[in-house]
Structures are given as structure tokens and as C-alpha cells.
Amino acid sequence: MLHSQIEQGEIVERYIRNQLTSEERQDFEEHFFGCEVCFEKVQTTERFLAGIRSAADRGQLDDPSNVFTASRSPWLIWAMGAATCACAMVAFATVWAYRNQVPTLREALDRTTAQLRLEEQSLAASEQRAARVEQAEANVPLVMLQASRADEEPASILLRPGAERLVLWIEMGSSRYRQFRLEVFSQDNRLVASVDHLERGPYGALAASVPADRLPTGEFRIKLNGQDPLPAALAGEYRLRVRRP
């Protein structure tokens, strides 16, 4: 059943007044249950008719049966038109919200998801680092450093695969400093590692460990500065050659 047939045959009014044949009723119901416009029009008309009947029951109308016949009720047509406009406005508002608000919400959700993914990756990396720190390491490489001149061979160490850290052992003579700062520089004078607040152990030596992955094959310059009490000053300089198999 087409909309033109519904309008020309006054199908909505006749449907509500139960004046359609069985075949017409079946055809119309198959149409309006799948058509939002006609479905809303039937609902609006039924509500309007219920209001008319209620007004008649209260004595405000003489004959409610004339609602559809009195020049086809211009004010009913106006009410139905207003209801149709209201439905159109609701549909427009829904489309506007979908086109304007949903993309914004989707972008916010994507940003939040990406941030959570980064935080999960950071947490996983932190857990891996913590696990490596807590895990005992056998055969930790150690090298003893002695102050050397430029023409002397530097201390040498072979870092095998799997080594996590390298222990630097420095024998100290008498010094006014209680704490020291150790700095490791690459051949291009780039700081690759540092350790603060070093104190002498029971044997009077300083021991500090640095990550092995920061020490590729090559030579390094190690500076030891007195840190406490102030003023700070250079306490020793050492050279180290790192080899890898």
C-alpha cells in the first residue's frame, strides 16, 4: 500500500474507526508496521481521538463521532502535521548527534585506548626490569681500575653474552671525601652511566655496577669525583677497554 493511496483513501481515519475491510486492514498493517511515518500518524491520531472522547465524556464536545467528518477537522490535520514536524525534528536531532557527537566520542575513546595501551606496555617493561633486578646473576663480570696515564694500557674486560651488569672496583688511598660520584664517558665524550654517593666498603675500596648494555665494544674514560664534603673535585681518572666475543 502506497502513501498516496493512504492519503486519498483516508486509510488512517478509517483504520482507527474500524471501517476498513479485512483485506484493506491487512494491507495497511503490513505497511505501517514497517513505516515510521504512518506508524507515528496512527499513534498520534489514536491519542488525539482518546482526548476527544475524554473531552466529550466531560461534556466539552457535543458529538465526538463528528471529529473526522466536520470538514475533515482542519485542526486535527494541523495537530497531525505538528506531530509529524516534531517527529522530523527528533529525527534531525538524532542524525546531527550521530554526525557530530559520535565521531568526537570515538576519537576520545581511541585516545584513551591508546593511552591505556602505552601504560600497559610501560608496566610490562617495568615488571621485566624488576624481575631482572630481583633475579640473582652468576659470574658477574668485575674489573679492577687503576689510575693510568694516556700511554699506558687501559684495564680490559670481556663481556660475554647474557651479562647484565659490570662491577667497577676502584682501590682508594687516603682521601678527605666520604662520598664520591663516578662517571663513565664514551670515546666521543658522551656520558653513558653515572653513580652517585659511592662510599668505601669494608676493604677501603669503591664498588659500583653499571648496566652492561651501555658498554659496547670500545674504550671508555671513567672519572671519579669527590662529592662530600664540598667542594667537589676530581679524585681519580681511569681508562677501560670493553671487549665482546
For residue 156, which amino acid is it? S
Min mean pLDDT across 64-68, 157-161, 188-192, 194-198 is at 64-68
Helix axes 36-57, 22-32, angle to 10 degrees: 120
Mean pLDDT of 90-103: 63
For 98-118, write each residue's pLDDT tens digit: 566 667 777 877 888 888 888
- Residue ranges matching CATH 2.60.40.10 in the chain: 142-243
More confident residue, 224 or 83: 224
Say whether pLDDT at 73 is over 60: no
Alpha-carbon distance values, 160 to 6, 131, 141, 185, 212 (Å): 89, 21, 9, 21, 10
Averaged pLDDT score across all residues of the chain: 80
Q: Give helix 36-57 / helix 74-134 axis angle, nearest 10°.
A: 120
Residues 126, 123: Cα–Cα separation, whole Å: 5
pLDDT at 242: 97
Nearest 5 degrees, angle CA 197-CA 201-CA 205? 90
pLDDT score of 141: 93
Query: Has residue 133 got a pLDDT over 70?
Result: no
* Higher-scoring residue by pLDDT: 155, 35: 155
Contacts of 216 (CB under 8 A, 6+ apart): 242, 244
The topology under which CATH files domain 142-243 is Immunoglobulin-like (2.60.40)
Helices (H), the chain: 3-8, 11-16, 22-32, 36-57, 74-134
Contacts of 57 (CB under 8 A, 6+ apart): none
Q: How far apart are CA 68 and CA 64, in angstroms?
A: 9
> Which pLDDT score is estimated for 135?
61
Q: Give just the sign of the alpha carbon dihedral 190, 192, 196, 200.
A: negative
27 — phi, psi (to 5°)? Answer: -65, -40
Over range 124-129, report the average pLDDT. 73
Q: Which residue has the cell 559520535?
A: 102
Q: Is the peptide bond before 216 cis (omega within 30 degrees of 0)?
A: no
